[in-house]
Amino acid sequence: MQVPVSQVSSDQFAFLSRNGMIRSEEGNRASELIKSTFLKGMGLFGNDTNLVAIHKNANSGPTGQLARLKRFEIFSAAVAEKCGGNANIKHAWYGASKSEICEILSYGFTTCRQPEDGDGYGVGVYLSPFDCAIDGALSSEADEDGLRHLLLCRVILGKMEEICVGSKQYQPSSNHFDSGVDNLSAPRRHIIWSAYMNSHIVPNYVVSFRAPNLNDKCANTHFNMHGCFCSVVQAFEILTSFKYGVD
């Protein structure tokens, strides 16, 4: 469910507006697609999750933000040329604390965290596929208002290589590859190597929500039993409808 705008204090999102994020209007196509896919991707926790707000990146914040977008576009073109015309750009979730989200929006990614369950796949930024919001949500932290925040990012995946759990890899194994993944046929984690974390990832939206049951660490077990999903048609619509973060 989504909380009505009238019940939400604008002070809760001042940190987003300061960083060039604007409130996405309820009912528009992009917001509805994000909301429905997010809630489906929460698996069993979707019914108990309250989506409070969606903010989109207007690229009008700090000057570095626009520079990072330009860099992303340059690298998108370069990877596309290398990969025969397809840079394999996808949307993916990144969950973190409010302070880390704010830092990323202001300065870009500065650290590489290991997954919450401890299953590391090398040194890089870990993102969850668009249809698996629960994995990103489990990496988020409730703020002083009880809100959690997820970045929905555009990510250049290029040619992916499968990485073994426990790997210490920190860069592509060869020039043939661009990113890592835990499982090529059923990905749950995309790994963007640290050298590329501010050229191959650009935040597009911030989804703010409440999910009290996520405090229960057995959430991942429930998710593994029931999964999360998004139809092929819906995924295609989403990826094409908000390519540049506009409604």
Residues 6 or more apart from 161 whose CB is under 8 A from it? 172, 173, 177, 179, 180, 181
For residues 41 and 115, give the distance between their C-alpha atoms in angstroms, rounded to a whole number. 18
Return the pLDDT at 65.
80
First to last CA, the chain: 20
Q: Is residue 96 part of a domain?
A: yes
Q: Is residue 184 part of a domain?
A: yes
How many structural domains is the chain composed of?
A: 1
Low-confidence ranges of the chain (pLDDT < 50): 4-6, 217-219, 221-227, 229-239, 244, 246-247
Q: Is residue 44 part of a domain?
A: yes
φ and ψ at residue 206, rounded to 5 degrees: -120, 125
Nearest to 41 by CA among 117, 127, 130: 130
Q: Is residue 247 part of a domain?
A: no
Return the pLDDT at 9.
58
CA distances for 233 relative to 28, 33, 155, 220, angstroms: 18, 11, 20, 27
Return the pLDDT at 92.
98
Q: Is residue 246 part of a domain?
A: no
Q: Is residue 101 part of a domain?
A: yes
CA distances for 209 relative to 10, 150, 155, 168, angstroms: 14, 8, 22, 33
Asked if 88 and 161 count as a contact pair (C-beta separation under 8 A), the reply is: no
Nearest to 53 by CA among 207, 203, 204, 205: 207
Nearest to 201 by CA among 211, 191, 210, 209: 191
For the entire predicted model, the pTM comes to 0.85
Q: Tell me the residue range of the domain where 94 lies.
A: 5-241
Q: Is residue 231 part of a domain?
A: yes
CATH number at residue 101: 3.90.228.10
Place of tokens 């930024």: 125
